Structure 1
Amino acid sequence: MEEKQQQPNNPLHGVKLVDILEFLVENYGWKEMSLQVDINCFKKDPSIKSSLKFLRRTPWAREKVEQLYLQSI
């Protein structure tokens, strides 16, 4: 409960990256996601696992994916 108090205005607090990706894939599909966020891991042989690996190493791409998620909820 203390963690939520530390970031009360952060809508991404407590949301896992894997949950964000699964939500976006379910709602948009890989093709639409690649049009919204122009990264190869969404275009060529996309998978949750490869996307997670890339997004964890690439802060600018992760930020774009998080923004797409926030616009979608």
Structure 2
Amino acid sequence: MARSAGIDERTRQLVRARQIDSPELSPADRELVEVLQVVRYYWSFGRTSTLLEVEVTQVYGTESVLAPSADGASG
């Protein structure tokens, strides 16, 4: 997949060796690696959930976790 996406061989070697923080990777390469890792995680999570027939849980609240408290105190 990486080859067909146009990622050069050296970048693929660094990723395979898990040297994601290597200075040889450009910022654009790092961002691409991070996006691919997130996509792979959610894809595998979705496949596992489907395989195990895990039902989606109900969302019980819609308020933001980061909303300021009523008394104005932070933290």
The bucket for the TM-score relative to the shorter chain is 0.3 to 0.5
The structure with the larger Rg is 2
Instruction: Determine which structure has greater relative contact order: mean sequence separation of CA pairs < 8 Å that are 6+ residues apart, divided by chain length.
Output: 1
Q: TM-score, normalised by structure 2?
A: 0.35
Q: TM-score, normalised by structure 1?
A: 0.36
